[in-house]
Structure 1
Amino acid sequence: MSFGHFALPYEDDAQFFGTALPFLAEGAARGDTMFAVTSPRKRELLAAELGDAVQMLDQAVFYEHPMRIIAKVLGQWEEGAAEGRGLRILGEPHWAEWGRLEILEWQRLEALVNLVFAGTDASFMCPYDLENLPLEILEAARRTHPVSAHGRFRRENPGYLEPETFSAMCDRIPLAPAPESSTAMPVFSPDMRDLRALVAVHARQYGLSGGSLHQLLVAVTEVATNALRHGTPPIVLRLWPDGDELVCEVADEGHWEPEESAGPGLVPPNPAKTGENPRLGLWAVRMLCDIVQVRTGPTGTRIRIRTPLCA
Structure 2
Amino acid sequence: MTAAATEPFGPLAPFAHPAFFYRDEQEYLDGTLPFVHDGLDAGEPVAVAVPGKNLALIKDALGDAAGAVRLLDMREAGRNPGRIIPGVLRAFADAQPAGRRVRIIGEPVWAGRSDTEYPACAQHEALINAAFQGRTATIMCPYDVARLPEHMVADAYATHPTVIHPGTRTARDNDAYAPGDVVSRYNEPLAPVRDALTFSFVSDSLPHARHVAVGEGARLGLVGVKLDDLALATAELTTNSVVHGGGSGVLRVWAEDGYVVCEVRDEGRLADILAGRRPVPRDQRGGRGILLVNLIADLVRVHRSDSGTTVRCWFAR
Q: Quick check: TM above 0.5? A: yes
Retained in 2: the 8 A contact 1:31–1:85? no
Among 168, 189, 200, the alignment partner of 2:184 is 168
2:83 counterpart residue number? 68
Q: How does 1:39-78 map to 2 (within 5 A)?
A: 39-40=54-55, 42-44=57-59, 46-48=61-63, 52-72=67-87, 73-78=89-94
The answer to whether residue 253 in structure 2 is matched with residue 236 in structure 1 is no
TM-score by length of 2: 0.82
1:265 counterpart residue number? 276
CA distance in 2 between counterparts of 1:166 and 1:60 reads: 23
1:305 counterpart residue number? 312
1:217 counterpart residue number? 231
Q: Which residue type is aligned with residue 312 of structure 2?
A: I
Among 281, 285, 289, the alignment partner of 1:277 is 285
Q: Which residue type is aligned with residue 280 of structure 1?
A: R
Q: CA RMSD in A?
A: 2.8
Give how far 1:190 is off: 3.4
2:6 counterpart residue number? none
Q: Percent identity?
A: 29
TM-score by length of 1: 0.83
2:260 counterpart residue number? 246
CA distance in 1 between counterparts of 2:78 and 2:304 reads: 29
Retained in 2: the 8 A contact 1:8–1:19? yes
Structure 2: give runs of 5+ residues left out of the alignment: 1-11
Among 15, 21, 27, the alignment partner of 1:9 is 21
Give how far 1:8 is off: 0.9
Retained in 2: the 8 A contact 1:112–1:267? no
Retained in 1: the 8 A contact 2:17–2:140? yes
Give how far 1:302 is off: 4.5
CA distance in 2 between counterparts of 1:241 and 1:61 reads: 22
Give how far 1:20 is off: 2.6
Structure 1: give runs of 5+ residues left out of the alignment: none
Retained in 2: the 8 A contact 1:227–1:235? yes
Q: Which residue type is aligned with residue 16 of structure 1?
A: Y
Tell me which of the two structures has the higher relative contact order, counting C-alpha pairs closer than 8 angstroms and 6 or more residues apart: 2
